[in-house]
Structure formats: structure tokens, C-alpha cells
Amino acid sequence: MKKLFLLVLTVLSSVALTVAADKPRKLVLIAGKPSHPPLMHEFRAGSLLLEKCLQGVPGFTIEVHTNGWVRDEKTFADADAVVIYADGGGGHPAVQGNHKEVLGALIKRGVGFGAMHYGVEVVPAQAGAEFNEWIGGHYAKDISCNPIWEPDYQKFPTHPITRGVQPFKTKDEWYFNMSFRAGMQGIVPILVAKPSDAVRDGPYVYPKGPYAHIQAAKGRDEIMMWAVERPDGGRGFGFTGGHFHVNWGNDQQRKTILNAFLWLAKAEVPKNGVESKVTEAELMANLDPKNTPKPPVAKKAEPKPAK
């Protein structure tokens, strides 16, 4: 009887492990509130587009939440990774209310964490130390800069995020000169390019600059995306592009991020990366309702007085 009990227990344990192993890895993608003019900071539309591109990927599921936070924090219970694509600084979703504590608890148990575009910027006193621990670095005002330029990404490290990614260029507000953790410990640069002297001289988006320390580094390569594996077993990444929505139409930029989502959640990245195609209609879907300036009304010609 005892042998039978042990046999049943062994079988049940094996089944439980198999079910757990087969459970899809889950990523929670948090899109920020509307901001900026049309086709800029389209966090909701960009997130929904990326979600669509990942539908049907084996062993992976993605859940998009909008307006800066999840609808119900219970969704974090089975999350393997969280990504924030939103405005940052003092209004960063990660520092509102008790969000920093919520995220800290998730990360402590090994949940992956990623930040995109303005989402890599935090006020150092609020969350600089946390972001350096969670993703390896952050955008710091007056240290980092945010010019609009077109990096030429030609070479990539051997990493799951870069699988199948070919050289590409997109004109965007690519931040650089991040405030990274000491000694770049554990950080793998993913997207690297050399800004021209003119890019370093500015103008930057805000403040316009130039900054002397950015100019002093002329000729140096800069990192616009990076990845890190944390001591707690979790993973992190920072991606500084994503200002202009139309750049999600670039197959290589899109593949880089799709690969990063899988890697962050510890799902298997395909040998040639995540393949996806996006139509013009799909790219223009789900845009935020933003006020667009009305074209000036032409003045009617005044009738000439009769002679």
C-alpha cells in the first residue's frame, strides 16, 4: 500500500511539473496615458500593435494594459515579466502611489522588467537606484540627452534579443549617455551607434543644449538599448527609441523589441527572431484621440470700392 501511495505521489508530481513547464510565459505590457502630438508617444497603439505581432507565438502570452497601470494588480500574480512604455520623469507610472513597492516585490521574486522610451527616465532621487538595479541604468536629466537623429545600427552582439535582426536605421528621439550602474556590471549593449559631431552639438529635444560633457565625448559609440541579467535570476532591458509611432513599421526595430519581450519573460526566442508583418492600416489603428491644429482659414478678398 505504501509503495502504491509513493507511486501515485510520484506520478502526480510529474504531471504537476509538466503542466508548470507547459504554462505559457506571461508578459504584462503597461502603456502610458496619451501625451504629445499625433503619431508621437502613441503608447497604446504601439503596445497593441506589438501584442498583435506576438499572437500565436508558442509558449508566450502578452497582456496589454493602458492609461499607465494595470486594471487589477492581481494580474501580476502569474506574470513573468513587466514592461512600461510610457512618459517618465516625475510622472513615471513606476513611482505613483505604491507602484514602486509593487514592482520591487515582483522583481524580488525574479520577474523580468523592461522600460521603453521616456519610460527609461526617472528622477534619480525617486527611483534611480531602483532602475539601476532593475534594468541596469536610467536616463538622468542633465546627464543623458535626447536629440532626434538617425543611428546606423550595423553590428549586434550574440544575444537572443538580436536573433535575426539585420542592420537598420530609424530617425527617432534616441536617448544616449545613460546613467548606468557602476562598471556596467552585467550589462550587454544591444543597439550601439556613433552619433555625429552635429548630433552631439544639438539641439536636443529638451533642454536644447548642447551639454559640454556630451560634446567632449565626440567619436565615442553610444548605447541606445541594453539588456541585463540580475542576481535574483530576473532579466531587464532599456530601450530609448519609440518616440515616433511610424517606426514600429520598421521590421528590424520591431523584431528587436518582440525578441526582447520573449527573452525578458524567459520564453524561447526563435532562431531567426520573431517574424511579423505590419500593414499601413494596422500601424494606424488604435491611435489616441489627440487635438490636431486646424489649418488656417483663408481670408476672403475684400471687394474693391467702386471708382
User: Which pLDDT score is estimated for 65?
Assistant: 98
User: Which pLDDT score is estimated for 306?
Assistant: 52
Q: Name the pLDDT band for 290 (thresholds 50, 70, 90).
A: confident
pTM of the model: 0.88
Q: Name the pLDDT band for 295 (thresholds 50, 70, 90).
A: low
Q: Which domains does the chain have, with CATH numbers?
A: 24-283 (3.40.50.880)
Q: Is the pLDDT of residue 1 over 50?
A: no
Q: Is the pLDDT of residue 297 over 70?
A: no
What string of DSSP letters covers 153-173? E----SSGGGTTPPPEE--B-
List pLDDT tens digits, range 240-254.
999 999 999 999 999
Q: Which of residues 161 and 6 earns the better pLDDT score? A: 161
Q: Where are the alpha helices (DSSP H) in the chain?
A: 2-22, 43-54, 99-108, 129-134, 197-201, 212-215, 251-264, 280-283
User: Which pLDDT score is estimated for 192?
Assistant: 98
92 SS3 class? coil
Q: Are 284 and 42 in contact (CB under 8 A)?
A: no
User: Which pLDDT score is estimated for 296?
Assistant: 54
| Helices 43-54, 251-264: crossing angle, 10 deg rounding | 80
List pLDDT tens digits, range 20-44.
457 899 999 999 999 999 999 999 9
List pLDDT tens digits, range 94-112.
999 999 999 999 999 999 9
Mean pLDDT over all residues of the chain? 91
Alpha carbon 38 to chain centroid, angstroms: 19
Instruction: Read off the C-alpha cell for 16.
Output: 504537476
Q: Are 253 and 131 in contact (CB under 8 A)?
A: no
User: Which pLDDT score is estimated for 182?
Assistant: 93
